[in-house]
Amino acid sequence: MGCLCVRTGVLVSEITVVVGAPASGKSAWVESVRQPGEPVVDYDLLARAFGSTVPHDAPVAVREVAFAARQGAISRIRRGVSDSAYIVQSFIDAAAVAAWLDFGARVVVVDPGKGECLRRAESDGRPQHSFEGIEKWYAEEPVWDSRAEFVKEPSVNNSVRSAAGVKSRRWFSMQASKPDQGAAKLGVISIYDHIGWGGTESKAFIEELNQLDVDVIELHIDSPGGDVFQGIAIMNALRRHKARIEVTVDGLAASIASVIAMAGDRIVMNRGAQMMIHDAWSWGEGDARDLESAAKALEKCSDSIAATYAARTGKSKEHWRELMAVETWFTAEEAVLAGLADSWVDAPSASARFDLSVFNYAGRAAAPAPRINDEGGSEVTAEEFVVRVRELLGLDEGLALDDVAVAVEDLVKAAEAVADAVEPDAVADPVGEPAASAADVDGVVTVDKAVFAELQADAAAGREARARADVARREGLVADAVKAGKISPASSSQWLDRLNVDEANTAALLASLTSGAVPLAEVGSGLDEVEGLSEAEKIFNTAWGTR
């Protein structure tokens, strides 16, 4: 059966391609970092396994068998047979490096320097072709892709794991601050890399998260995505935590990183930050039935992700699947307008630290504007919406979006002031004879001062009662929607804000939502051990059920 490697930006399995000149220490580096049971595809090891007694100089017949076995092993690894593997290779061109990186593998270049390689070859008594290979490797060294990693000494690992092979490269950090007396306890978490990539599993993240005894967690995100199942597990763990989750997207929340952001009770986009959503990706191999099964699994995965966006925004899962299908990018403002975030703030723009060439668009600047309207209407982009508001209010064409928002707020406040000043119930029959000057003024009614004061008090009391009734009614609409599974508890405040602005249309939208559509329970499940299955099968069966 073909193996499915689901991803939303990077590969689930971890493949590390280790490159370097002959005698550079590639094999020694792998042995210093690999875990027990992780396969290593190394020509020299294969040659010895097939009967070669001379190190680095196998007979022709053994070389042919060893090379064939090497190619077969690489093919199976690319199909996802193993959860992690190391491939040792001396000569590789720039195109092959890029292909491995695009596939989702890591490329680690072991380079102690030409002089050190020659010294080691001499010390090991290597054959002449090893010295020729060293000269050739440094003479024809390719221009390395910026995504490749470099180590100089195989005994010291600076990129993936410690020399003891115990600790993994961390893509997150957690810390709890010491609060002032009486203040809420605060925890800060930063996710500033690929999710779950580089050996660190979601298990380590969740174990540390569960140890955070805090009232508020500030979660900062700058990530291009990663392992979809680990991302969903992290999102669920954040949801379960007792603390209030305050999410800030500092730079990029793309792919599964955007799903993790949805765990926030409040989501803030820093100025210049971006968010990207797309369908889950996969590589598959096998016959038609295998690929059909893989396609169904991908559909389920993408549906789960879309349901998360729908629960946050109140829009349908189908709406989000449409946007995911075309890979949609959002600026900070657009993410707020789409309901994926609550606000944006002025903060320094994060630098573009990630290679986004694997996606259809290398960031929001290269992508078309997202559709942010509700279903059933005409498609209006964020830019078009702002232009229309400027035109309606007669504002300057170049006025910034924040200034447009201020102008709208001022207009609303002015309208409310006029409405409060006009009280139809305050009209009463005149008491006594009006003064001559007042009688001559059309539309003016003169009343006793005490009567007028009483009318004003009654009007104020009426407004307060009406306001309380409005609040109770709107809160009841939101509570009923949560109870019916139409919206998530985390989005209650957003829906209440919408009702305060436009009750009629928002109430109609709530009524139109499907009951029970929002997954109030956890999405996905844990990775319990099942005897007799490989790690890949365990993950697959846990997510989608047994085959």
The catalytic residues are 255, 278
Torsion angles phi and psi, residue 51, rounded to 5: 110, 0
Sign of CA dihedral 528, 529, 535, 541: negative
What is the C-alpha separation between 284 and 287, in angstroms, rounded? 10
Q: Which amino acid is at 505?
A: N
Residue 290 in 3-state DSSP? helix
87-to-44, 156, 200, 349 alpha-carbon distances in Å: 12, 19, 20, 38
- Asked whether the beta carbons of 16 and 200 are under 8 A apart, the reply is no
Q: Are 85 and 40 in contact (CB under 8 A)?
A: yes
The Cα–Cα gap between 321 and 327 comes to 10
Using CB atoms within 10 A of its CB, is residue 408 exposed (0-12), middle (13-18) or buried (19+)? Answer: middle
Contacts of residue 521, Cβ cutoff 8 Å, sequence gap at least 6: none
3-state secondary structure 96-132: HHHHHHHHCCEEEEECCCHHHHHHHHHHHCCCHHHHH
* Integer Cα distance of 103 and 358 in angstroms: 9
Give residue 464's identity as a one-letter amino acid code: E
Mark 215-239 as b/e (b = at least 16 C-beta within 10 Å).
ebbbbbbbbbbbbbbbbbbbbbbbb
How far apart (Å, rounded) are the C-alpha atoms in residues 7 and 227? 6
User: Integer distance in angstroms from the first to the last C-alpha of the chain?
Assistant: 11
Closest by alpha carbon to 279, among 10, 5, 8?
Answer: 8
Residue spans of alpha helices (H) in 398-547: 401-421, 436-439, 449-483, 492-501, 503-512, 535-544
Residue 152: closest CA among 119, 93, 108, 89: 108
Please report how many Cα atoms fall inside a 13 Å half-sphere around the Cα of residue 302, on the Cβ side.
22
Pick from 428, 421, 422, 418: nearest CA to 455: 428
